Chains A and B, each alone.
Chain A
């Protein structure tokens, strides 16, 4: 059993940054040199066009969406049309003020992007399969709207459940509710923010990520929800930034890369071609990072501390549970597999044993 953790080489990490956000060299001293993009819906409404031009664009976009036949399990026309409506919603200054049926065609509408940019964006969506969330620069996740961009994993709906798991655990457990939590490989900061909002007033979250882009985006999202006093985002690999907290964490969650390397090229283009491999690739069997996390968790959590990991499914869940029960004997208790909303075995949860092991 390989317990060692090999730091993913940076060459592996080649996200397709959008042109206006050039890749900055990593410099741990000033990670703020990367400026996160503003999501479309937060940009200033400084562009205007007429309703008829907008409609023309919309009809064009619909036709484009209708021509799609997906071969790689990508989105179908219905989903694309839904995305199109959301794109309009985000691009319009005031989507609610437009009178769609009786509106006069010359009516001026105010946009947050130039109409010609909307053509470009939708072309990118359909032809390049650029993920919708990168196109609009945000993802609606739980009750949050999180900024995302190339280089940052788009949080998935399955992961929403982790916040519920934490919420259930901290309810009626003051020690956990007001303790220190960690989200490792935070990406957009989704889990950190979700958890930060269910903790008590004294509860804190430290979130780490190896990617400087992710650190910037996560920090931006934390600030948008005004949680900078509660959540700290640190640059670094997994536990490295947490060395000072050994045995102090009340809880630890992670949605680490778990897809087996060879599966990645076969995924839908939105994921395979656009999302950061660093956040997806879990090594040969997808378990590299999960196993690494398991080991570190035992020493970071305080007795009674809670953990939750997302996995690729039944096989990984079973493997992980087995591993914790046998290899890390006595380290954890109440280790359990939790289903996602689609009925798939998705999460492994448990507690650090109250009595010290070995």
Chain B
């Protein structure tokens, strides 16, 4: 299908949600129906809003809050939030009004309770993990330091610095407060569980309260985790993905095409506005390169970790002997920044702009739709080509704004405060890192080189099911950053 449609894909967007949905949420519809046919229960609406999580692995997959909306769900975030709701809970609509009325209903109530207890246990673990990774002890030390500084008699001598100190003091306080709240809430829920165990019967109101707490808390934890993982300056933006086939001819070009499809499918699954804006076809099959624009909140934050070299191992479909073949394709990701945020002036003499008008006499002698523009930022060697627009000027404008976005990102990665400080040598090396292996033969395995995360379900991955990879990578990146900060701190303390 993708093959026959390749031309249409180009330049067309793909945001048609209602067509997508049935494809991968058919299993949840059954659950939904079960819920809706039991409207008598007073408890139901509550459990609908705050689904207890049946297993810990689903915690993070719970369709989160409205913003940032998108989702690590197994599927779409717009799905009703009750899709993970325990059917056990739902099957007992009468239990609350008739607690202990019969052996059967109390049996159901106990099952509800066990399920809740499990949720509470899991959430408790989650709170513990988050508190540990947040470096609570360090935060408290920071707080003490800052408070000491603020109490100093000379504190207000430097007003600007004083204000900065107060701001970070507030930040740290807020964070500690939030982490304490998480702990308090889970303790409340745990108390209810203990109490119920001691009473050996389920109290409707208490049960409701505990379920409520767990539901809300998990939402808050999701939100907290996401803000921690996606806190880069451009994470909220849309993304531009460039795919380039590596050396190796048709095999590599076919591989690039497979990656293109994978990312388009991923974007569609997230219900992002996904558009293949440029595609240059390979001679026999596949593509030499392609550009995808993904519009939507946090698209860049999620997909930026895909940057790097992707390697495939398979039996070559382009080789009559079917030999095992390794091919590479490069993926590059940039934020899709609105023009007004590209507040960077690059001096014209630092840019080398070339147009694709090929040889010959040009001018009136030639009529060809050659509009491609290539811009090189001379100091860093960063080069960009834009071919998708229909006029040269339009391509130049687009290429320039993409170049700016790219330089901003590189500056951010190198922690440079401005583009002038970017180290060109570091930029040139950046493309090469191999980040993921996709083995189709002799066994099936997709493995991320950085995080070690792997799955044998290669079909789903190629269908755009990248969320487990993305999420593991984000966590990995977060941990790396935290430990880097920790090391910096250690250094600073040893220095002083």
Contact = CB atoms under 8 A, between A and B. Distances in A.
Contacts of B355: 157, 341-342
Find the residue from B7, B357, B361, B387 having the highest chain A CB count within 10 A.
B7
B361 A312 contact: yes
A271 interface: yes
Interface string B264-276: 1100100000010
B392 A341 contact: yes
B369 interface: yes
Given A55-B4, A98-B12, A342 B369 contact: no
A279 to B, nearest CB: 8
B391 A141 contact: yes
A157 B265 CA distance: 36
Contact of A55 (B8, B16, B23, B265): B8
A178 interface: no
Contact of A98 (B8, B281, B354, B394): B8
Contacts of A2: none
A157 B19 contact: no
Nearest to A267: B365
Interface in A88-102: 88-89, 95-102
B33 interface: no
Contacts of A270: 367
Nearest to B358: A342
A158 B362 contact: yes
A142 B391 contact: yes
B40 interface: no
B151 interface: no
Contacts of B367: 131, 133, 154, 156, 268, 270-271, 275
Contacts of A96: 12-13, 275
Contacts of B281: 78, 81
A102 B7 contact: no
A283 interface: no
B208 interface: no
Interface string B8-21: 11111111100110
A40 interface: no
Contact of B368 (A79, A95, A275): A79
B5 interface: yes
Find the residue from B360, B366, B368, B387 having the highest chain A CB count within 10 A.
B368
A312 B361 CA distance: 7
Interface residues of B, number: 47
A131 B13 CA distance: 27
Nearest to B373: A341
B195 interface: no
A160 interface: yes
Nearest to A134: B367
B58 interface: no
B370 interface: yes
Contacts of A84: 7
Contacts of A250: none
A82 interface: yes
A154 B367 CA distance: 8
B225 to A, nearest CB: 31
B97 interface: no
Interface string A74-88: 110011011111101
Interface string A152-189: 01101111100000000000000000000000000000
B5 A156 contact: no
Contacts, number: 152
Contacts of B264: 101
Q: How large is the interface on A (under 10, 10 to 19, 20 to 34, 35 or more residues)?
A: 35 or more
A239 interface: no
B55 to A, nearest CB: 31
A341 B357 contact: yes
A73 interface: yes
Interface in B10-42: 10-16, 19-20, 23
Interface in B178-225: none
Contacts of A142: 391-394
Find the residue from B1, B364, B368, B394 having the highest chain A CB count within 10 A.
B364
A99 B16 contact: yes
Nearest to B391: A140
Find the residue from A86, A99, A270 having the highest chain B CB count within 10 A.
A99
A14 interface: no
Nearest to A107: B19
Interface in A125-165: 131-133, 140-144, 153-154, 156-160
Contacts of A268: 366-368
A62 B7 CA distance: 9
Given A55-B4, A268-B366, A102 B12 contact: no
Interface string A340-351: 111010100000
Nearest to A59: B4
A10 B297 CA distance: 60
Contacts of A124: none
A73 B369 contact: no
A261 interface: no
A96 B275 CA distance: 9
Contacts of A160: 391-393
Interface string A30-62: 000000000000000000000000110011001
A258 interface: yes
A133 B366 CA distance: 13
Contacts of B369: 75, 79, 82-83, 86, 132
Given A84-B7, A88-B7, A95 B12 contact: yes
A303 interface: no
Contacts of B357: 157-158, 340-342
Contacts of A313: 361-363
A22 interface: no
A313 B363 CA distance: 9
Contacts of B280: 78
A203 interface: no
A268 B366 CA distance: 7
Interface string B333-363: 0000000000000000000011101001111
A259 interface: yes
A4 interface: no
A94 B360 CA distance: 37
A81 B12 contact: no
A86 B7 contact: no
Contacts of B4: 55, 59
A342 B5 CA distance: 35
A88 B389 CA distance: 14
22 contacts: A55-B8, A82-B387, A83-B369, A84-B7, A88-B11, A99-B15, A99-B16, A100-B12, A101-B14, A101-B261, A102-B19, A103-B19, A133-B367, A140-B389, A140-B390, A140-B391, A144-B391, A158-B357, A271-B365, A340-B362, A341-B354, A344-B362
Given A88-B8, A140-B394, 4 more contacts: A140-B391, A143-B391, A143-B394, A267-B366
A-B pairs with lowest CB-CB distance, top 5: A140-B390, A99-B16, A140-B391, A341-B355, A100-B8
